C-alpha cells in the first residue's frame, strides 16, 4: 500500500542512490502511465531523470509475463 502515487518511485530512486543496494535490479510493476493525464504533477519528478528500474511491467500483466521478466533480469 502506498501513501501517495509516487511512493514506489521514491523508494526505487533511494535504492539506486544507496551504494548498499544500487546493484540490486529493480522491476517496477505499475500502471502509472495510465494516470499521467490526471496526475501528472505526482510524476513530474520522474520525467527527465535516469530510470531507476531495469524493467517496467504494466499492471495487470499475467503471472507468466512477470515470471519471464524476473527470470530475464536475474539471468
| Alpha carbons 60 and 54: distance in angstroms, whole number | 19
| Alpha carbons 56 and 40: distance in angstroms, whole number | 18
- The pLDDT value recorded for residue 6 is 73
> Per the CATH hierarchy, to which homologous superfamily does domain 7-74 belong?
Response regulator (3.40.50.2300)
pTM of the model: 0.69
Half-sphere exposure of 37 (CA within 13 A, CB side): 1
| Alpha carbons 14 and 75: distance in angstroms, whole number | 24
- Domain residue ranges of the chain, discontinuous segments joined by +: 7-74
Q: Tens of pLDDT along 7-33?
A: 788 888 899 999 999 899 999 888 777
Q: At a CB cut-off of 8 Å and minimum separation 6, what does 52 contact?
A: 9, 12, 13, 15, 16, 26, 28
pLDDT at position 2 over 70: no
Q: Tens of pLDDT along 32-56?
A: 777 666 766 666 666 667 778 888 8
Amino acid at each position: 500500500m502506498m501513501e501517495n502515487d509516487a511512493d514506489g518511485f521514491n523508494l526505487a530512486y533511494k535504492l539506486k542512490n544507496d551504494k548498499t543496494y544500487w546493484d540490486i535490479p529493480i522491476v517496477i510493476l505499475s500502471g502509472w502511465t495510465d494516470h499521467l493525464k490526471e496526475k501528472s504533477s505526482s510524476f513530474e519528478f520522474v520525467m527527465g531523470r535516469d530510470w531507476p528500474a531495469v524493467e517496467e511491467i504494466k499492471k495487470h500483466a499475467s503471472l507468466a509475463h512477470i515470471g519471464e521478466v524476473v527470470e530475464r533480469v536475474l539471468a
